[in-house]
Structure 1
Amino acid sequence: MRKQRKFDDDDFSLTDTDTFEKFLDHDPEWDENPDGPETGDRWSTWDLSSPTERGPLPHPEWVVTELAAVDTERGMLKTGKEADVFLIRREVPETGYGTLMAAKRYRDSDHRMFHRDAGYLEGRRTRDSRVNRAVAARTAFGKEAIAGQWAYAEFGALCKLWETAQSLDVTPFTPYPVQILGTEILMEFIGTPDGVAAPRLAAIRPEDANLTDLWEQLLIGLRVLARSGYAHGDLSPYNILVHEGRLVVIDLPQIVDVVANPHGRRFLTRDVHNVLTWFRSRGLSGVDETEVVQFLCDEAGIR
């Protein structure tokens, strides 16, 4: 049996020939509840999320909303410090109607390592002072609150970015957010119908891609982020996918409100520097980093 590939968000030893396939060698944990579905791992959770916990309208045609649908876990796509991502198949039994989704699940407080979240969380505060104090003190309850903040921050950002892209009449550059339930986010799976995830930008060979086109797509994405008042906060070639020529940015739990966060411009500048450094190392030229940063700051309305 082939061992599943696992990797850490911040620790990569990749070559340009690396791919990010997932392997369907995972035995799902079946639900023994007598009220559970006859096939699959659980009933669809669509009806458990409120309208505000579902993706922007109109829902894409591939989103399965039928209550008779079931979810089946197909294996792990990625493991990270704060969350793991699984491949989920949601379908209506005996109809062939279904879709693949990525399920991002934030870990409980005993298995997460929020070792560098302080800067990102500046500007994120709840109305409950007790929660804010617990978050600041990193108590067990505070860590649970942080997990919820990260999950809802990512889901909310995905929704807003999708809507902003539509309002600007540009192709969305992030996965469509299907729904959130607790600390699980279900979103569009970026990959092939048989469950092979799209490669990351870091694994793309220059001769296999149009660097100018990819940079232009990314610049549009950065503009959408800035227009929405955001910086990605941790943008790099490792959290950008390339699927059939489409560039898709992932991993947004650390997204930064560049207006509310006093370090907003610094995060935005770092995002631009990280990705532009990679593009330049692959041969892209003629892009002024300072001009790009200033353009995005103007779009975001910050100095």
Structure 2
Amino acid sequence: MKTPASLLTLIDEGVIDEVMRPLKSGKEAAVYVVRAGDDVRCAKVYKDMAQRSFQKRVQYQEGRKSRGSREARAVATGSRYGRRQQEAEWKNAEVEALYQLREAGVRVPEPYGFFHGVLVMELVTDADGFSAPRLGEVELEPARARRFHQALVRDVVRMLCCGLIHGDLSAYNVLVDPEGPVLIDFPQVVSATGNNAARTMLLRDVNNLTATLGRWAPDLLDTWYGEEMWALFEAGQLAPDTPLTGHFTPDEHAVDLDGVRDAINDARELALIRQQGREAADED
């Protein structure tokens, strides 16, 4: 196993003592099992910006605040410094989210620190001490699937009350330890109030979880928790312990903004065509 230079730096500085084995590798980062004293933890090494898709992250980063006016201007202009700043914010977003969500009672791995671009955190394990499986890798009885769904919906509510949306939640971003589901992978975390796609991402997150657990408990497929919690959030009535029913009646009188925009654009195009026709007739 080739140990990344960033992990060797952590060994030199005494943050960790040993890199034991690789755990997983994805498009955004590689995760390693490490030892720190008597504790076994994991270290998430974010991949270099050149190895990752920059454009795909733009939608997620909408609404995130830069740390200063210089950084904000650089990000807006797309300069090299601005891209580096945006990359740093992308990495810091997960670290900050983990600390905030742990404080709010969301089941996420405990973070131990962020060093030289490496996030050191709790290794989530099963009952035998091995790396915990993902939600999509376990078989569930209907009653247990419903309990998992209830726990995950409550964690999504707690996140939303913190002003955050996971943005990429699925069976691949949920681990299962002896106490239940644990949410992981937060670099794309979304601002619930500053991102125009926040509602869409929230509904996608909840629907992904419902579709996965609905395989074991089909009655979950008839629930509408995402729509219900977003309506309460918009109305300022959502709290971490707000009871949810899973029922939701859409407002049939709500304004169809997309339809209005389409109608306006169609009218503009029609007016342009007519104007071009009149000009052509005048020339004849």
Equivalent AA in structure 1 for residue 34 of structure 2: I
The equivalent of 1:185 in structure 2 is 119
The equivalent of 1:56 in structure 2 is none
Q: Map 1:131-280 onto structure 2 (within 5 A).
A: 131-136=71-76, 139-165=79-105, 172-191=106-125, 196-207=130-141, 210-280=144-214
The equivalent of 1:44 in structure 2 is 14
Pick from 87, 94, 98 the counterpart of residue 33 of structure 2. Answer: 87
Shift of 1:80: 1.6
Other structure's SS at 1:100 match: strand
Pick from 39, 44, 60 the counterpart of residue 99 of structure 1. Answer: 39
Using the size of structure 2 for normalisation, the TM-score is 0.73
- 8 Å Cα contact 1:28-1:41 kept in structure 2: no
Q: Distance in 2 between matches of 1:245 and 1:208?
A: 17
Task: Select the structure of larger CA radius of gyration.
Answer: 2
Distance 1:135 1:193, change over 3 A: farther
- 8 Å Cα contact 1:109-1:140 kept in structure 2: no
- 8 Å Cα contact 1:103-1:186 kept in structure 2: yes
Equivalent AA in structure 2 for residue 135 of structure 1: V
Moved more, 145-154 or 278-287: 278-287
Q: Give structure 1 stretches of 5+ with no counterpart.
A: 1-25, 46-69, 92-97, 166-171
Shift of 1:290: 2.9
- 8 Å Cα contact 2:66-2:89 kept in structure 1: no
Other structure's SS at 1:285 match: helix
- 8 Å Cα contact 1:190-1:197 kept in structure 2: yes
Other structure's SS at 1:282 match: coil
Other structure's SS at 2:84 match: helix
Shift of 1:190: 0.4
Other structure's SS at 1:126 match: coil
Distance 1:254 1:301, change over 3 A: farther
Equivalent AA in structure 1 for residue 44 of structure 2: K
Q: Distance in 2 between matches of 1:71 and 1:181?
A: 14
Distance 1:85 1:140, change over 3 A: farther
Equivalent AA in structure 2 for residue 116 of structure 1: K
Q: Give structure 2 stretches of 5+ with no counterpart.
A: 238-284
Distance 1:290 1:210, change over 3 A: closer
Residues 75-125 of structure 1 deviation map (CA, whole Å, 9 limit, x = unaligned): 21111222211111100xxxxxx2111111212223222341111000013
Residues 21-66 of structure 1 deviation map (CA, whole Å, 9 limit, x = unaligned): xxxxx365799x9xx9xxx943433xxxxxxxxxxxxxxxxxxxxx
Pick from 19, 34, 44 the counterpart of residue 73 of structure 1. Answer: 19
What fraction of aligned residue pairs are identical, expressed as a percent? 30
Q: Distance in 1 between matches of 2:20 and 2:159?
A: 32
Equivalent AA in structure 2 for residue 84 of structure 1: A
Greater fraction helix: 2
Equivalent AA in structure 1 for residue 160 of structure 2: A
Shift of 1:298: 2.0
Equivalent AA in structure 2 for residue 126 of structure 1: S
- 8 Å Cα contact 2:20-2:32 kept in structure 1: yes
Equivalent AA in structure 1 for residue 166 of structure 2: H
Other structure's SS at 1:78 match: strand
Q: Distance in 2 between matches of 1:114 and 1:249?
A: 24
Distance 1:209 1:110, change over 3 A: farther
- 8 Å Cα contact 2:211-2:221 kept in structure 1: no
The equivalent of 1:114 in structure 2 is 54
- 8 Å Cα contact 1:89-1:99 kept in structure 2: yes
- 8 Å Cα contact 1:272-1:293 kept in structure 2: no
Distance 1:204 1:139, change over 3 A: farther
- 8 Å Cα contact 1:258-1:300 kept in structure 2: no
Distance 1:182 1:117, change over 3 A: same
